[in-house]
Structure formats: structure tokens, C-alpha cells
A and B are shown apart, each in its own frame.
Chain A
């Protein structure tokens, strides 16, 4: 049956898995998930991931969640080129370090900004308060500086001379904000160059393809959301702007 990848390309972790699999010619069945339509709540998906999150992988009887785990699994199973997740202990540790750090340093802010800017209006039929967006953007300022000064420094990529899982996870995450109109790399030319370098290493076509949905986020406005789903999401959204 082969590998099934349950992905919603609106989600940064899904994009990193998608790009990695495609780039490395890993055969898989793309199982389209639309989180904004609540598809993760289906009975079927519950069997793939009881936590109802994407990305999710199904390999025969084996199911797996969490993008860092999926990426590492694919790299190990398909023996992808070393630079993605180097065997060298110290280089590997640097990838691990980034993947761990980004969970609390980058991801929550990106998630929040995306939800406030794009998801909130979709569900609540009104825009989220601008101060909340600004607050979340400010929270990113220091982590972005750290990304540049601690992780990237003067190297072409985060871990060294070649692209790794760390770059993939980082760029797909930050593209979420760039795509919806936030120039987060303003005054940070090093990061701009790095982002371009990563796109080139991935391959422009694949990179653009993976980011098509998020780049066309305005199209989401015409998405029909079931009233029931709107009601379900309201408390969480209201909490974000409390």
C-alpha cells in the first residue's frame, strides 16, 4: 500500500514533510486534509492520529504524528542524503537543537499570528484586534534575532554548508507570515538571503508548489465553514484575543 501522508499545506509542518518527501522522491499517497473545514475530526482520521493533528503518516499498520518525528522516520527509512540529518554527532545535535528550540520560540507566535490574521475573520466574521497581532509580532522579534545570531551566524545554512531538516522546518514556518503579508525579515538581509538559499536548494518549483495554498490565502475568504464548526472554534478564538 505504501506510505500515506495526511497533509494540509496551509500548515507549515505539513509543508516541511511534503517538501522533504517530494525532494527525496519518496513515494507516497497525498491524503488531503482541510483543517479549517474540520476534517481532522472525522472518524477515519481519528484512526490515523487520535490527537487529530496534521501532518500524520500511515505506513501499513504504523501511524505517526509530529513533523520532526515524521521527517526523521522518512530520512532513516529512505536513507536520504546525509546533509538532511547528518550522521556526524555534532551536526546532528545542531539540527536537534533547532527542532527543539523552534517549538516554543517560533511556532507558537507564528500560529497565533496566522490564527488572528486569517482564521479569526473566517470564523468570527470580524477582524481580530490589531494590538493582539502587534503583540504577537513583537514576541517574534527576539527569537528572529536569535535565529540570525545564534543559529545561522555566518553560515549559508543553519547547520553548515548544506540544507538540513532545520532549514526546512524554519523556512516553512516563517513563510506562513511572509505569505500573509508580514515582512518579518525587514532589516534582516542575512535571513532574506538564507531564505532564498533554502528555496534554491529545495528547488524553486517544488517550493512554490508547496506554498501555493498559503500564498493564495485570500482565496480562503470564500471558504464555506459550517456554522457548527464556527461555534466549536469560537471559545478558542475568543481566548486568543482576551
Chain B
């Protein structure tokens, strides 16, 4: 039973893990999780003491669901070893499969730059870029209400500040965050920044440096793999047609209300 990766490619960190594993020819079983269909309520995720993964008869722990409903992916299962958090998963895979040095350089200072970005990313890019999807597509889908344009503007303004910092501190005049080659830092950043693209918020427009970096990352990953990983998010409008389980709607209601404030 080899490596299993639990992924929903709608999720930014899942895409980073997917791209990294594929690009490095890491053999894995793709365990498809569909966050916004029936899966979260019916399926059990790996982690903790769960012996396995089965479709029926396992009840999802209420508590876990409410907080972690969106954080159940990505998840890794390697024999009995389970791991959450995309950063941890990427680092684990890079070590276990001895991936090329540029992904996570052994040079202390270059490595520190990747660590620095991955840490900053959490509070400054992660979540902010993704909010666009919630505001433009998911909240309306779940609640039947569209949000006032100021809400989106608020999110875009906040994102603009982070993007400026990204360009000034992390990218500067380099082709990639750490230097001349792609690393885990670029990968985590790009998948996050593709989220608004999927819903029509073109953050690369009017940002030539960022745009150039995006192209270079796509090229370094390989256009085919990059497009494949982003197929779902780039066709997100189709999501508008899916039936949402009413139980899931109820489950998410408090979280959605909070996001709408």
C-alpha cells in the first residue's frame, strides 16, 4: 500500500502537493476528496487514530468538521504515518524522495528564504487570495445571496497590500523567490494566486513583474501539468450547477456567516 494523497484540486494547498508529487514522479494514489459535494460529511479523513478510509458507516466528528472542514486536505498517508498541512507534506516528500535541491535547497541561507516565505505566506497570502472564491462563488452558492461589491473590493484591497509586499520583499528583481530556480516557495505562492484568476479577478493584470514570475513558474512546472492541476479552479463557474447537500449547507452556515461579516 504505497503513498496516498488526499486532495481536492479546488484547494490551493492541494494543488501545490499534487504538482510537486507529479513533477517529481513520486508514485502515489490520488484519493479524490470533493469538499463541496457529499464527501466531508460522509467520509472519514486519515489522521489521528483512524485506521483507514471508507465510504460508508463512519461518522464524521462534529467538532473536527466545524473547524477543519476545509483543512482536511491535503492529507498524506504513508503506511500508518499520516500527515496534514501542505508545508509539512511538501517537506516530507522532498526529503523522502530526494527531490532536486532547488525545491528546498540544502544551502542554509537559501533554505531559510524558502522557510521565511512559507511562514509569511500563511498569514499574508493564504486565505486572502482564496477569499475571492468564497465571495464571488461559494457564499452565493451556499446561501443563495450575492454579496455587495464592497465586500469583494475589501478583499482585493487587502490582497493588493500583500501582493505589494510579495513583490518588494520576496520577489524583488529575481526570477523566482529564492533566486534563479523554482522552489517550494514559488509553488505555494502560485497555487494560491491562481484562485482569484478562476473567479475572474485578474491580479496579474497591471502587475508586470508578478505576471512574468507567474509565467516562469508555469514554465518551470511544465505547462501541461500546471494547466491540469488548475483545470477545476479555472472552470469554477461550472460549480454553480452542482447540488449542495442541505446538511453541508447547515454545517457551513456559521463559518459562512463569519466570513460575510
Interface set of A (CB-CB < 8 Å, partner B): 50-51, 62, 64-70, 72-73, 76-77, 89-90, 92-94, 96-97, 99-101, 103-104, 107-108, 142-143, 145-146, 149-150
Interface size class of B (residues with CB under 8 A): 20 to 34
Q: Which residue from chain B places its CB closest to the CB of A104 in the assembled complex?
A: B122
Q: Do the beta carbons of B83 and A93 come within 8 Å of each other? A: yes
CB-defined contacts of A72 to chain B, threshold 8 Å? 111-112, 115
Q: Secondary structure at chain A's binding surface: helix, strand, loop or mixed?
A: helix
The distance in angstroms between the C-alpha atoms of A146 and B84, with both chains bound, is 13
Q: Which residues of A contact B119 (CB under 8 A)?
A: 66-69, 99, 103
Minimum C-beta distance from B192 to chain A (A): 13
CA A90 to CA B76, docked complex, whole Å: 12
Q: Are A96 and B108 in contact (CB under 8 A)?
A: no
Q: Which residues of B contact A (CB under 8 A)?
A: 47-48, 63, 66-67, 81, 83-89, 91-92, 95-96, 108-109, 111-113, 115-116, 118-120, 122-123, 126-127, 165, 168-169
How many angstroms between the C-alpha atoms of A73 and B108 in the bound complex? Answer: 7
Total A-B pairs, Cβ < 8 A: 89
Residues of chain A within 8 A (CB-CB) of B123 are 103-104, 107-108
* Contact between chains at A97 and B84 (CB < 8 Å): yes
CB closest chain-A residue, reference B168 = A50
Main secondary structure of the interface of B (DSSP, over half): helix
Q: What's the Cα separation between A108 and B118 when bound, in Å?
A: 17
Q: Which residue of the partner chain A has the closest CB to B66?
A: A142
With A73-B112, A104-B122 as contacts: A96 and B92 at CB distance below 8 Å: yes
Extra inter-chain contacts (19) besides given A73-B111, A96-B91, A146-B67, CB under 8 Å: A51-B165, A62-B109, A64-B112, A66-B115, A68-B115, A68-B119, A69-B116, A70-B112, A76-B108, A90-B81, A94-B88, A96-B87, A96-B92, A97-B83, A97-B84, A97-B85, A100-B85, A100-B118, A101-B85
